[in-house]
Amino acid sequence: MSARLRATLLLAGLTAALLVVIVLAAGRGQLAIAPAEVAGSIMHRLDSGLERLLAWVGVTVDLPLDIGPLPEHPQGENTLWLVRFPRVVLAVLVGAALATAGALMQGTFGNPLAEPAIVGVSPGAAVGASLVFVTGASVLGEWTVPVAAFTTGLVATLLVYALSRVGGRTEVVTMILTGVAVTAVAFAIVAFATFVATPEAREQIVFWQMGSLNGARWMAVAAVAPFIVVGLVAALVLAKPMDLLSLGDRAARHLGVNVERVRILAITAVAMLVGAGVAFAGVIGFVGLVVPHLIRMLVGPGHRLLIPASALGGAVLLVTADLVARTAIAYADLPIGMLTALVGGPFFFWLLRRTRNRAGGWA
């Protein structure tokens, strides 16, 4: 099988899998909606939206897209479009963002064990969220926690970058060690905030650190979508330079790559992707580690395929994990970060042993 055919099949398979899990996830819950009814509702909304768009530009046409049955339950449409679909779409965006950020980090550091937390985005975001919970601040209403988390996540990333620059360059080892130090300080601040918090605030801090998509609304989707889309586009633009960077800094420079600029852009994209993702969903670990590595095992290290495939794979994983989180136990919503850790922890241990056995080479 040729590499091009294998890439096409992988992307097509992941896209099909994503559509399937979206339909299944939207239909499962306390109010069960059949997959055919979910698909019919989507097609009716798509038909109506496209016809209105065409009418706005002066074209009147009756599109044949309104096929399939609508939900029979009188609250079916409201359940789908006000509760289920915002949560599913947010899961798609966050999953794609985390997995893409992981692919960029692994390419930037040349290490399959690298993940977004290494530059302090997630720990920094936890600091902002924790301080809001402890102080009870509500300057921006329901936006206070997401904005604080996004801001402190970006500040932590900038701090790691600034402290790791030596002689006008950013050394990989120095950045990793700086990231470890900043992460340790961030976790210490979160621990102190948890210690002094009221029981209610303490519960909020702990639950936010475990990650959840509970209560997702279209407002949250609209807030994170622009940042994640920009981050994904930046990742695709960086795909070719990242391939050259994997040859080593010296070889990449000989081939005309501005190594320092590529690393800066990659880290900025990671901060944007992860910061936007954790702002509303909380800290969700291991997606950025597991998905890119599995994709790399299937199709190799080429970033022009690795990045879009990782985005699709991350979306599939997080939508599936969220479906399990809200349906595994009746009338309960499990923390989604707990589920990804249950899968990612053993995988990380296996990956660590495999990488050690291969003397640090790409797995």
Each residue's pLDDT tens digit, 105-151: 888 877 776 777 777 888 888 888 888 888 888 777 777 888 888 88
DSSP labels, 254-309: HTT--HHHHHHHHHHHHHHHHHHHHHHH----SHHHHHHHHHHHHH-S-HHHHHHH
Residue 44 domain flag = no
Lowest mean pLDDT among 51-55, 94-98, 129-133, 148-152: 51-55
The string of pLDDT tens digits covering residues 162-192 is 887 776 666 667 777 888 888 899 989 999 9
Residue 64 domain flag = no
Residue 57 domain flag = no
Residue that the structure tokens 């966050």 belong to: 94
| CB neighbour list of residue 30: distance below 8 Å, 6 or more residues apart | 331
Residue 53 domain flag = no
In this prediction, residue 294 carries a pLDDT of 86
User: Which structural domain, as residue segments, surrounds residue 127?
Assistant: 3-33+71-357
Residue 337 domain flag = yes
On the question of pLDDT at 306 being above 90, the answer is yes
- The confidence band for 259, taking pLDDT boundaries of 50, 70 and 90, is confident
Distance CA 139, CA 141 (A): 6
The string of pLDDT tens digits covering residues 239-253 is 999 888 887 778 888
Q: What is the CATH number of the domain that holds 351?
A: 1.10.3470.10
pLDDT winner (highest mean) among 12-16, 122-126, 281-285, 346-350: 12-16
Residue 59 domain flag = no
Domain count, the chain: 1
Residue 311 domain flag = yes
Residues facing 165 on adjacent strands: 170
In this prediction, residue 30 carries a pLDDT of 85
Residue 45 domain flag = no
Percent of the chain with pLDDT over 90: 25
Average pLDDT of the chain to the nearest whole number: 85
Q: Is the pTM of this model over 0.85?
A: yes
In this prediction, residue 307 carries a pLDDT of 95
In which element (H, E) is residue 166 found? strand 165-166
